[in-house]
RNA sequence: CGGGGAGUAGCGCAGCUCGGUAGCGCGCUUCGUUCGGGACGAAGAGGUCGGAGGUUCAAAUCCUCUCUCCCCGACCA
């Protein structure tokens, strides 16, 4: 491709809207443009990267017997009503009505459609297992798109769905996808780690997220350097700090203490001169719980120790709740509690589901609120002063906590979720009546898995982790072009243009992807654009070199400049490209899932 | 949805406090000189100042409403 013909415009300065590095670079390098919040268009260079990423996805999906299909973006609401997600999912699901008043949705994922498709085609266990995937546009009306392509509303996703005759078939297939995912990210030059994750609205029994470690990530990961434990903060566990000396402590009498204007744990600990671990934190929430097929709202009073944070995912799971929201002040008062001074002692127990973290019964004589402003209670003891309805692990693991496997201190890092895999089980096949006849002639629902990767988010994550002050540093496997050919010709050096044209033709004929800078620009402009665009190889043809029969080769990552003989240039370039490719493939992680 | 910030030329910004009819840098066009890391000179093109309403002789500037975008939080297969 000739730069003189390329549809692009590099920007010297990043648009003020762009905050994160990858977003700035994508705009400056003319990969994408933003059309609206969370909605982007891809320009030629960006689309080439996207296509390369997707080619890798196809390759790896095909390698584990995936078969590519395409499903619609616009889907009938009826499908989503059958699984109940039409009611469960809120405003994230974009809904519309056609001219005849039919309700439609914009697909945010395709379980409903694919399950119906599979149900229509698959009748027999002989047709199983099967893996279907697509690379398709999704739309989620996110409440807050952010970070350029990190979190968007309209995006392209590779989503795959596998169908199995039984759980063991899924169990044996799942690790293949797990490895295929490492292959995809590795080949795209993105370092990721896999963490166990919550199954969330997808349902299912086991799930992993593939995370790119970067500060712009929205997820917090809990890692153990000592033993390799890795989990999303949503599900991470840890060994609760057991204080042996205190566990034996005698329960002391309840005692009210005046604490004017003290309505946070930090202020309370300071005011009473006690550690936060000697206080009880009260949290007021309202859960949506399904009971006898009916949804109802239930006030939930959660108690965790003052030095810990509630993990809402754990609480949601412990309650088997559909949803959880903070309670309103009026709701809190209605059950006899007071915001900022909440206590499990003396509330209207009939209306409240009282849930305590499993550390609370082992922590005697805590300071809790007194359910009236300006007062707290000393020596509150679970079991003596109040009886919880449920005791469970409710708190979030954090840096410094003890690893659940080896007790070493845990680390917390930020990550971007670039892919995920789920064992769905039969949630969708049952709802959609996707059954098959097994060997015994009996009917059984198919067991499903689902597997997603966002193309754009992957691209952004690669840029986020592969750039320097001058621009992007693409892994050669997904770079828009492999080689940037710079012609430094002037009007007085037609031989340079001639040579550059010859080299361009020669490299192109050999199948090398060349971006040829034939513009009438100064050297500095060309070099700076080459750096900004991040093309892995830069080959410069200048007057000096032509005179000596050489061209200069420089790698984007690195400073070394090598002179290559012009009469044998193809061989050298090919060798360097191969070398660069191998350097990336060598880093692909092989991590059998146990 | 709560909190904060911002909309003036393709991009980055000034002008707004104190109303007087829009400016700077980069980019873009033409000509000339230059030509190995974002050249120089000259001449140009380009803006209903996000939108609507109001105040005023006069509004980018003051008032009201509204739309959009960004950041933090809530939320999130």
Looking at strand B, which nucleotides approach a protein CB closer than 7 A? Answer: 1-2, 6, 10-13, 25-27, 34-39, 68-77
- With CA atoms as reference, report the closest residue to A375 among A255, A252, A251: A255
Q: Tell me the CA–C1' distance in angstroms for A16 and B19.
A: 29
Count other C-beta atoms under 10 Å from residue A447's C-beta: 23
- CA pair distance A250, A239, nearest whole angstrom: 24
DSSP string, A113-165: HHHHHHHHH--BGGG-SEEEEEEEEEE---S--BTTTTB-SEEEEEEEEEEES
Query: Once rounded to an integer, what is the mean pLDDT over residues A442-456?
Result: 96
The token duo for A156 is 């392209």
CA angle A142, A145, A146 (to 5 degrees): 155
Which helix or strand (DSSP H or E) is residue A287 part of?
A: strand A280-291
- The number of C-alpha atoms within 13 Å of A561 and in the hemisphere containing its C-beta is 8
Distance A16 CA to B62 C1' (A): 28
Work out the average pLDDT over A296-312: 89
pLDDT for A324: 83
Report the alpha-carbon distance of residue A398 to residue A412 in Å, rounded.
Answer: 6
According to the model, what pLDDT value does residue A244 have?
64
Reported as type and span, the H/E element at residue A457 is helix A455-465
SS3 A443: strand
pLDDT reading at A204 higher than 70:
no
A291-305, A450-464, A502-516: the lowest-pLDDT one: A291-305
Decide: A23 and A148 in contact? Cβ < 8 Å.
yes
For residue A361, with 0-12 CB atoms within 10 Å meaning exposed, 13-18 middle and 19 or more buried, which class applies? middle
User: What integer is the mean pLDDT of A362-384?
Assistant: 92
**A231-275: pLDDT as tens digits:** 889 889 999 887 666 767 888 999 999 998 887 888 888 899 999
A21-35, A172-186, A197-211, A324-338: least confident range: A197-211
d(CA A488, CA A306): 67
Whether residue A190 is predicted with pLDDT greater than 90 in this model: the reply is: yes
Q: What's the rounded Cα separation, in Å, for the pair A259 and A271?
A: 8
**Triad A243, A244, A249: Cα angle to 5°:** 95
CA distance A70 to A327: 43
Name the H helices within A286-339: 312-319, 329-334
What pLDDT does A382 receive?
93
Enumerate the β-bridge partners of residue A550.
A565
State the Cα–Cα distance between residues A171 and A191, nearest whole angstrom.
Answer: 25
Q: What strands lie across the sheet with A255-258, from one edge to the other? A: A255-258, A375-380, A366-369
Fold designation for A244-392? YbaK protein (3.90.960)
Model confidence band, residue A424 (pLDDT cutoffs 50, 70, 90): very high
Query: Cis bond leading into A10, ω under 30°?
Result: no
With a cut of 90, say whether residue A9 has pLDDT above it: yes
Q: Write down the pLDDT at residue A387.
A: 94
pLDDT at A203 over 60: no
Q: What is the SS3 assignment for A244-262?
A: HHHHCCCCCCCEEEECCCC
Distance CA A587, CA A52 (A): 18
Q: How far is the CA of A489 from the C1' of B32 (A)?
A: 19
Instruction: Pick out the nucleotide with least CA–C1' distance to A27.
Output: B11
Q: Return the SS3 of A359.
A: coil
* Residues in chain A, overall count: 594
The answer to whether A213 touches A223, Cβ cutoff 8 Å, is: no
CA separation for the pair A455, A155 (Å, rounded): 8
What pLDDT, on a 0 to 100 scale, did the predictor assign at position A172? 95
Average pLDDT over residues A376-398: 93
Confidence of residue A290 (pLDDT cuts 50, 70, 90): confident
Q: Which ipTM score applies to this complex?
A: 0.95
Least confident of A62-66, A308-312, A582-586, A590-594: A590-594
What's the helix, strand, coil split of chain A in %, to 5?
A: 30, 30, 40
Q: How far is the CA of A36 from the C1' of B7 (A)?
A: 14
In angstroms, rounded to a whole number, what is the distance separating the alpha carbons of residues A326 and A312?
A: 10
User: What are the residue boundaries of the structural domains of chain A, listed by start?
Assistant: 31-235+412-464, 244-392, 471-585
The chain-wide mean pLDDT, for chain A, equals: 93
- Residue A289, both tokens: 């719980």
**Cβ atoms within 10 A of the Cβ of A290, count?**
12
If phi > 0 it is left, if psi is from -120 to 50 it is alpha, else beta; for residue A68 that is beta
Give percent of chain A with pLDDT exceeding 70.
98
Flag whether pLDDT at A201 surpasses 60: no
> Are β-strands A514-517 and A483-487 bridged in parallel, bridged antiparallel, or unpaired?
parallel
Region at A371 (left for phi over 0; alpha for psi -120 to 50; beta for the rest): left
Q: Of A509, A544, A548, A550, nearest to A523 (Cα)?
A: A544
Give the pLDDT confidence score for residue A245 in this predicted structure. 67
Cα A523 to Cα A215, A480, A529: the distances in Å are 35, 21, 10
Distance of A152 CA from B57 C1′ (whole Å): 50
Residue tagged 């949705």 (tokens): A105
Q: Are A420 and A209 in contact (CB under 8 A)?
A: yes
Spatial contact of A235 and A197, defined as CB atoms under 8 Å apart: yes
A168, HSE (Cβ side, Cα atoms, 13 Å): 0
What pLDDT score was predicted for residue A433? 95
Give one DSSP letter per residue of A526-550, joined into a string: HHHHHHHHT-SEEEEE-HHHHHHTE
CB A300 within 8 A of CB A286: yes
pLDDT at A80 over 70: yes
Protein-to-nucleotide distance from the CA of A543 to the C1' of B17, whole angstroms: 58
Pairing of strands A323-326, A280-291: antiparallel
CATH number of A471-585: 3.40.50.800
Which comes out higher in pLDDT, residue A457 or A333? A457
Least confident of A42-51, A169-178, A240-249, A439-448: A240-249
Q: What is the mean pLDDT of residues A197-215?
A: 80
**How does strand A66-68 pair with strand A130-139?**
parallel
Q: Greatest CA separation found in chain A?
A: 97
Percent of chain A with pLDDT over 90: 77
Asked if residues A117 and A161 have their Cβ atoms less than 8 Å apart, the reply is no
pLDDT tens, residue by residue, A106-164 = 999 999 999 999 999 999 999 999 999 999 999 999 989 999 999 999 999 999 999 99
- Mean pLDDT lowest for which of A30-44, A105-119, A140-154, A283-297? A283-297
**Homologous superfamily (CATH) for A31-235+412-464:** Bira Bifunctional Protein; Domain 2 (3.30.930.10)
Checking each nucleotide's C1' against the CA of A197, the nearest proves to be B77
What tokens appear for A418 in the block? 């670039």
- Encoded tokens for A276: 């936060």
Q: In the structure, how far is the CA atom of residue A16 from the C1' atom of nucleotide B18, in angstroms?
A: 29
């Amino acid at each position: 491709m000739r730069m003189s013909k390329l549809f692009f415009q590099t920007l010297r300065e990043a648009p003020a809207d762009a905050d994160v590095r990858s977003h700035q670079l994508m705009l400056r390098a003319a990969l994408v443009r933003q059309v609206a919040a969370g909605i982007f268009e891809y320009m030629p260079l960006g689309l080439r990267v996207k296509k390369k990423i997707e080619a890798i996805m196809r390759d790896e999906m095909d390698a584990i017997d995936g078969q590519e299909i395409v499903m619609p973006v616009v889907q009938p609401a009826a499908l989503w009503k059958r699984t109940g997600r039409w009611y469960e999912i809120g405003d994230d699901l974009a809904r519309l009505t056609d001219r005849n008043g039919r309700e439609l949705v914009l697909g945010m994922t395709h379980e409903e459609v694919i399950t119906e498709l599979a149900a229509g085609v698959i009748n027999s266990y002989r047709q199983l297992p099967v893996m279907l995937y697509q690379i398709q546009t999704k739309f989620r009306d996110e409440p807050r798109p952010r970070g350029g392509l990190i979190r968007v509303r309209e995006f392209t996703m590779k989503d795959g769905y596998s169908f199995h005759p039984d759980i063991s078939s899924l169990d044996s297939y799942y690790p293949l996808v797990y490895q295929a995912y490492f292959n995809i990210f590795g080949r795209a030059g993105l370092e990721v780690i896999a963490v166990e994750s919550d199954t969330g609205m997808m349902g299912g029994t086991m799930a992993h997220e593939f995370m790119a470690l970067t500060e712009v990530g929205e997820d917090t990961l809990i890692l153990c350097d000592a033993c390799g434990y890795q989990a999303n903060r949503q599900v991470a566990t840890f060994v609760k700090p057991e204080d042996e000396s205190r566990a034996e402590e005698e329960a002391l009498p309840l005692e009210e203490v005046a604490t004017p204007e003290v309505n946070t744990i930090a202020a309370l600990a300071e005011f009473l001169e006690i550690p936060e671990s000697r206080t009880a934190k009260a949290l007021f929430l309202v859960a949506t719980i399904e009971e006898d097929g009916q949804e109802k709202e239930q006030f939930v009073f959660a108690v965790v120790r003052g030095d810990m944070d509630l993990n809402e995912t754990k609480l949601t799971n412990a309650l088997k709740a559909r949803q959880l929201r903070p309670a309103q002040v009026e709701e809190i008062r209605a059950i006899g509690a007071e915001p900022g001074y909440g206590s499990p002692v003396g509330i209207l127990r009939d209306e409240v589901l009282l849930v305590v973290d499993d550390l609370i019964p082992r922590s005697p004589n805590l300071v809790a609120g007194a359910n009236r402003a300006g007062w707290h209670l000393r020596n509150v003891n679970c079991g003596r002063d109040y009886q919880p309805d449920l005791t469970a692990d409710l708190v979030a693991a954090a840096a410094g906590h003890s690893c659940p496997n080896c007790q070493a201190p845990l680390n917390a890092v930020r990550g971007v979720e670039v892919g995920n895999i789920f064992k769905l089980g039969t949630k969708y096949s049952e709802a959609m009546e996707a059954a098959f006849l097994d060997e015994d002639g009996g009917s059984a629902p198919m067991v499903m898995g689902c597997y997603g990767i966002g193309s754009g988010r992957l691209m952004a994550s690669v840029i986020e982790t592969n750039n320097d002050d001058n621009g992007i540093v693409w892994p050669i496997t997904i770079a828009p072009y492999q080689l940037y050919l710079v012609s430094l010709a002037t009007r007085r050096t037609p031989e340079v243009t001639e040579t550059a044209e010859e080299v361009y033709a020669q490299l192109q004929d050999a199948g090398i992807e060349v971006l040829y800078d034939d513009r009438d620009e100064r050297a500095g402009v060309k070099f700076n654009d080459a750096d900004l665009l991040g093309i892995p190889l830069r080959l410069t043809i200048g007057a000096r070199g032509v005179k000596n029969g050489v061209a200069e080769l420089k790698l984007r990552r690195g400073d070394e400049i090598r002179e290559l003989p012009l009469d044998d240039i193809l061989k050298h370039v090919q060798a360097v490209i191969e070398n660069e490719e191998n350097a990336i493939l060598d880093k692909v992680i092989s991590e059998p899932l146990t």
